[in-house]
Amino acid sequence: MALSVPALTAEAQQDTIVSRNLDEFVVRAAQVAEGSPMAKSNVTGKELQTNNFGQDVPYLISQTPSVIVTSDAGTGIGYTSFRIRGTGDSRINVTVNGVPLNDSESQTTFWVNMPDFASSTGEVQVQRGVGSSTNGAGAFGASISMMTERASMTPFFEASETAGSFGTSKTTVKGSTGLMNNLFVADARYSKMRSNGYIDRAKADVSSYYGSLTMYRDATQLKFTTFGSAETTNQAWNYVPSDYIKAGNRTYNSCGEYEENGVTKYYDQTDNYWQQHYHLSMVHSFNAYLGTSLTLHYTHGKGYYEDYKAGAKLAKFGLEPFNGTDGQTVKRTDLVRRKWMRNDFYGFVFKADYKKDFIDAIFGLGANNYEGDHFGRVIWARNYFNLSPTHEYYRNKGEKLDYNAYLKTTFATSSHTSIYADLQYRGIHYTIDGTSDKVPQLDVDTDFGFFNPKFGFNYRNGGQQAYASFAIGHREPGRNNYTDESAVEHPTYETLYDYEVGYSVAGKRWNTAVSLYYMDYDNQLIQTGRLSEIGEALTTNIKDSYRMGVELSGNVQIADWLRWQANITLSQNKIRNFVESVAAYDANWDDIAPIEVKYDKTDIAFSPSVTANNTFSVHAGGFDAGLNSVYVSRQYLDNTACRSRSIDSYFVSNATLSYTFNTKAVDDIVVGLRINNLFNEKYETSGWVSSCVVEGESTVDNRTVYDGLAVQATTNFMINIKLRIGK
């Protein structure tokens, strides 16, 4: 029987109108409006839900311009990441309802800790370039602003089940009380996902929850929101060596591989993390022109990854040599370590919004503090009988205070033109103290202060818009730049000068847009092609580099039931006067002086010159279908533009089918099918490389190369059924 939803009283209807106005204010404070002078794309909640078969958020925004996604397990579930305009996600600012989401130290958003968050997301805005001022990590290629779903004024219950290739399954239940006593709304969701992954031993077992309690009173909204996750994934971040791929072994995973008595075995290496977020926000509208919002937030996380180290040096792990069964001193043995982290992140975000006549202004203020404990333990060592179960071999603590203030103002100079100014100051105090497994003693105590101005001009007339903008952004180094490099070679901050010009025009059934950008970097921290132990890209400062390109997009409503959307980015991503330092060894593999290779101009790693999306979508009654195709041109694994150290271009298509029907018992029943990699393309999306010269074996032009490529799944499918009671 369908859920009975009583009609709202006049008072409740008024409360609904107020709540919607307050929700609009929250969105406006965190995102930029249509007509703002910057390149951006909005992905609606309906679009997210249509494409949500369990893959992480990066995959659900991958049809917007200049976006490339990748997955360690090859399926989009587990460890996933993305790049926008060639810029990695450690340099992309991500917020949820205006609250920073990026990890403060690495500045990366770990989507493995946000499984099925799309089921609670109402809208995502992607701002390319520096974008507008926001809280948290500096935007150095893009900003992602996610808004959770608005509180439902009517009660509903929804359950969905998804199953498909590689043992993948997803269960989601969600619901809402609707507006109770014209005062409260409670919403909740729980999701559970499992997948074996396409890559060998790349399992994921993840769960997440979301809950909110919203109170409306006159012109005030008070909302408590909590969301969190638990994840256990197998490690697949070593990727697949190119030699294995050429030999046809595309699913090989070296993580946990060791040899015992001549037999190859695999240790069950896992990554485990638990995270909980808490937001308490108050929004108040003083009148039709002025409103404020204040959010207090707290995030707690803890977890570890566990791996097998064959033939490890005991001294490196703080262990004494021991006498073996043959009486010889043993200085190396196999062992298992756990690298732990525990962190707390807390602070506040405040905004005041004024909009009247020809002035539209937002003042923002925020301060956030991060405390992270990092420590390593050896939990087992072969034949080491006196090992303490809590033996630690390093411990350090990072603390980072991040604060900012900004004023964004749009001034209408006429009925068609406006000017935009956005002035932000951002300060950082960062310390790391203790011991590390790479740097014997960490003693980092550094401060940064950045002034980030942005200016723009906008013209709108009917269906036409033209804009031009200039912005300056700064970004501080991340934790890896201090802990994975020599202690005497700490990097400096980087600066971006972003020039953007755009034009769009819309008709009744079509629209098209073009954006031109020139992003000029000073001391850009560019990926070297190497990875940290957990698959994070390592970077180094490059003095002079730039990214420039054109983004073209458009859509046409060909018929009432058929729509076509497409976008393409053509770009150049270059380093000027680049000097490569190639590691060199003698015939005994002892270090000798590195070899320097100079390039007048070369391509930036992982920055393809062409990315494109093409989508046909059909909507007829309860039937929906979509065919999306993605093209990404060649990507170089390092900064030498060497074809032999690169990822081939790829063209991949995905199809989605669904049908919605109603019954007397259930308001909506949706049955869906998604086929990924429809034409069985064999492709890779990311990777790493390390090259060297060995005397008598290789040269600079014919190097000894070690690499790994992120192989993606062949044709696979997901089926879904969703039941909803209540609207």
Question: Hey, what are 590's tokens?
Answer: 């002892």
Contacts of 27 (CB under 8 A, 6+ apart): 123, 147
pLDDT > 70: percent of the chain: 93
3-class state of residue 306 by DSSP: strand
Specify whether the CB–CB gap between 557 and 563 falls below 8 A.
Answer: yes
pLDDT band at 682 (very low <50, low <70, confident <90, very high): very high
Q: How many CB atoms lie within 10 A of CB 594?
A: 14
Angstrom CA distances, 698 to 156, 515, 599, 693, 694, stand at 67, 45, 20, 5, 5
> Distance between CA atoms of 150 and 181, rounded to whole angstroms?
18
Nearest to 531 by CA among 583, 477, 484: 484
Q: Which helix (H) or strand (E) holds 583?
A: strand 562-585
pLDDT of residue 1: 33
Condensed to tens digits (0 to 9), the pLDDT of residues 205-244 reads 999 999 999 999 888 999 999 999 999 999 999 999 999 9
The CATH number of residue 667's host domain is 2.40.170.20
> Distance between CA atoms of 600 and 80, rounded to whole angstroms?
34
Condensed to tens digits (0 to 9), the pLDDT of residues 123-172 reads 999 999 999 988 888 888 899 999 999 999 999 999 999 999 999 999 99
Nearest to 171 by CA among 726, 723, 725, 727: 723
Q: Does 714 have pLDDT greater than 50?
A: yes
pLDDT of residue 526: 74
Specify whether the CB–CB gap between 118 and 62 falls below 8 A.
Answer: no
Residue 382 counted as domain residue: yes
Residue 5 counted as domain residue: no
pLDDT of residue 15: 46
Q: Is 589 exposed, middle or buried (0-12, 13-18, 19+ CB in 10 A)?
A: exposed
Average pLDDT value for residue range 287-303: 94
Residue 266 counted as domain residue: yes
Q: Among 412-416, 581-585, 642-646, 651-655, which stretch is predicted with the lowest mean pLDDT? A: 581-585
pLDDT of residue 665: 83
Specify whether the CB–CB gap between 228 and 208 falls below 8 A.
Answer: yes
Three-state helix/strand/coil letters over 264-301: EEECCCEEEEEEEEEEEEEEEECCCCEEEEEEEEEEEE
Under DSSP, the state recorded for 715 is: S
Contacts of 247 (CB under 8 A, 6+ apart): none
pLDDT of residue 660: 94
Average pLDDT value for residue range 488-502: 86
The count of domains in the chain is: 1
Enclosing domain of residue 247? 10-725
pLDDT band at 2 (very low <50, low <70, confident <90, very high): very low
Q: Does 506 have pLDDT greater than 60?
A: yes
Condensed to tens digits (0 to 9), the pLDDT of residues 244-290 reads 999 999 999 999 999 998 999 999 999 999 999 999 999 999 988 89
Q: Among 255-264, 480-489, 528-537, which stretch is predicted with the lowest mean pLDDT? A: 528-537
pLDDT of residue 210: 98
3-class state of residue 247 by DSSP: coil
> Checking DSSP bridges between strand 537-559 and strand 204-217, what pairing results, if any?
unpaired
> Distance between CA atoms of 350 and 293, rounded to whole angstroms?
6
> Distance between CA atoms of 57 and 82, rounded to whole angstroms?
10
Average pLDDT value for residue range 104-124: 94
Nearest to 273 by CA among 90, 106, 109, 110: 110
Residue 4 counted as domain residue: no
Residue type at position 720: N
Residue 48 has φ and ψ, to the nearest 5°, of: -60, -45
Q: Does 536 have pLDDT greater than 70?
A: no
For residues 316-345, one letter each, b for 16 or more C-beta atoms within 10 angstroms of the residue's C-beta and e for the rest, the string is: ebebeebeeeeeeebeebbbbbbbbbebeb
pLDDT band at 492 (very low <50, low <70, confident <90, very high): confident
Nearest to 118 by CA among 153, 149, 162, 80: 149
Residue 467 counted as domain residue: yes
Condensed to tens digits (0 to 9), the pLDDT of residues 174-200 reads 999 999 998 999 999 999 999 999 999
> Distance between CA atoms of 380 and 337, rounded to whole angstroms?
7
> Distance between CA atoms of 257 and 465, rounded to whole angstroms?
57
pLDDT of residue 385: 87
Under DSSP, the state recorded for 17 is: H
Q: Does 17 have pLDDT greater than 60?
A: no
pLDDT band at 482 (very low <50, low <70, confident <90, very high): confident
Average pLDDT value for residue range 95-121: 95
Average per-residue pLDDT for the chain: 91
pLDDT of residue 228: 97
pLDDT band at 487 (very low <50, low <70, confident <90, very high): very low
pLDDT of residue 22: 65
Q: Among 224-238, 378-392, 639-653, which stretch is predicted with the lowest mean pLDDT? A: 378-392
Q: Does 6 have pLDDT greater than 50?
A: no
Question: Hey, what are 364's tokens?
Answer: 């923002």
> Distance between CA atoms of 163 and 165, rounded to whole angstroms?
7
Average pLDDT value for residue range 634-650: 96
Average pLDDT value for residue range 105-111: 93
Residue type at position 468: A
Contacts of 341 (CB under 8 A, 6+ apart): 301, 302, 303, 304, 372, 373, 374, 375
pLDDT of residue 530: 54
Condensed to tens digits (0 to 9), the pLDDT of residues 436-477 reads 888 788 889 999 999 999 999 999 998 999 999 999 999 999
> Distance between CA atoms of 425 and 406, rounded to whole angstroms?
6
Residue 550 counted as domain residue: yes
pLDDT of residue 16: 46
Q: Does 588 have pLDDT greater than 50?
A: yes
> Checking DSSP bridges between strand 80-84 and strand 142-148, what pairing results, if any?
unpaired
E strand intervals along 357-437: 359-381, 392-412, 417-434
pLDDT of residue 23: 66
Where is pLDDT greater, at 131 or 649?
649
Residue 675 counted as domain residue: yes
pLDDT of residue 140: 86
pLDDT of residue 656: 97
Nearest to 239 by CA among 704, 650, 685: 685
pLDDT of residue 538: 62
Q: How many CB atoms lie within 10 A of CB 116?
A: 29
pLDDT band at 528 (very low <50, low <70, confident <90, very high): low
Q: What is the DSSP string of 630-668?
A: EEE--EESSTT--GGGEE--EEEEEEEEEEEE--SS-SE
Condensed to tens digits (0 to 9), the pLDDT of residues 537-555 reads 566 778 899 999 999 999 9
Residue 650 counted as domain residue: yes
Three-state helix/strand/coil letters over 97-148: CCEECCCCCCCCCCHHHCCCHHHHEEEEEEEECCCCCCCCCCCCCEEEEEEE
Specify whether the CB–CB gap between 150 and 122 falls below 8 A.
Answer: yes
> Distance between CA atoms of 253 and 709, rounded to whole angstroms?
11
